[in-house]
Structure 1
Amino acid sequence: MATRDPEAKRQQLLDAALTEFAAHGISGARMDQVAKRAGCSAGLAYTYFKGKDELFDAVFEQIVRTIVSTVPIDADDLPGYAARLYDSHQANPEVARLVTWYRLERGEAALATPLAVKSTDAKVDAVRAAQAAGTVSDRFTAEELVALIQHIAALPSGDRTRDTVAAAVRRLVEP
């Protein structure tokens, strides 16, 4: 007799939803396809999530948590941080596609979920402290530097892109 594992099923739904949303966006994704990918019925999917929007939000929050835990900011080595963030983007291209869909369908301001705001605030505070210590340039505000680093780290892959990302951020932040 099989035992039920609600958390495992919820995670299967989140994993399936990441694939579905990355491919089709919020509008184009279908809950029945998410359920099929997760190996369950659409009814069971609705037991866990009220609908596509709630499921999409849960996937986005999971992405933020994963990136924060696997690629923590290091204000003493922002070029290295940018290179690791670039590596994360390259290893998980579906995440970049999902974030792009989020921006297209919900707008840039919608990315400001409570967890995303908290994460960004922590990064800004770390950069601001490094600026105050004189180890990071203050040519740009801490908020601008964090945004610039994140955007540079999202460059598409190429022969020397990782090195270019690190070099660009090094030049950007050097005092």
Structure 2
Amino acid sequence: MRTRNAPETRRRILAAATGDFAERGIAGARVDRIAAGAGVNKAQIYAYFGDKQALFEAVYRKHAAAIVDETPFSVDDLPGYAVGLYEAAQRRPDVIRLLAWARLEGVDLPMDEHAVREKVDEIARAQSDGRLDATASPQDVLALVTSMALTWSVVGLSPVTGSDHEAALRHTVALAFAGRRSS
């Protein structure tokens, strides 16, 4: 018989929910299946998370935060940031599937607005200093870099034998957002 250990119970629920949501989406996931996979009863899931939507958001936040935490952002190395996001997505395909399901099902995903704002502010300063091209807004630069980094995961392209996605990504991001050159 398991003893009560709230952090461990929560971890098991999130792990079981990650698998079910990634495989079946929000609508297809079942709380009873998640409960069975976590070795808890449905009431515990509702007690910890409230409802299935809140459980999905907790799963997404956990995994998105892990990618953000393991991918350092440097405005002076946007190509490196893009490659870091690409590599993190390759290591965590469940996150990409969670993102795809959320978009398909029209769910607004929770995000760390403070972290996004910090990145946008850093980009704006770099644009103002001439270190980055200022043609696109700072928000667009962040969105474009992120989109470029996740392209292979989101569109479902398999890695091409002999292709160097990281080099192509690094080169493209560098070209797209290069700052002013001194003559």
When the two structures are superposed, what TM-score results if normalisation uses the length of structure 2? 0.86
Query: Any stretches of 5+ residues in structure 1 without a counterpart?
Result: none
Alignment of 1:114-153 (within 5 A): 115-153=111-149
Query: Does the residue aligned with 1:172 lie in a helix, a strand or coil?
Result: helix
Alpha-carbon contact 1:64-1:116 (below 8 Å) kept: no
Moved over 4 A (4+): none
- Can you list the C-alpha shifts for 1:134-154, whole angstroms capped at 9, x where unaligned? 211112111111000000000
Following superposition of structure 1 onto structure 2, how do residues 1-175 of structure 1 map, counting pairs within 5 Å? 3-107=3-107, 110-111=108-109, 113=110, 115-156=111-152, 158=159, 159-175=163-179
SS of 2:134 mapped into structure 1? coil
The residue identity in structure 1 corresponding to 2:165 is T
- What root-mean-square deviation, in Å, do the aligned CA atoms of Structure 1 and Structure 2 show? 1.7
Give distance in 2, aligned partners of 1:35 and 1:125: 42
User: In structure 2, the residue corresponding to 1:154 is in which secondary structure?
Assistant: helix
What is the aligned residue count?
Answer: 171
Unaligned runs of 5+ in 2: 153-157
Deviations 1:75-121 (A, max 9, x none): 011000000000000000110010111111125xx13x3x4322221
What percent identity do the matched residue pairs reach?
Answer: 35
**AA aligned opposite 2:150:** A
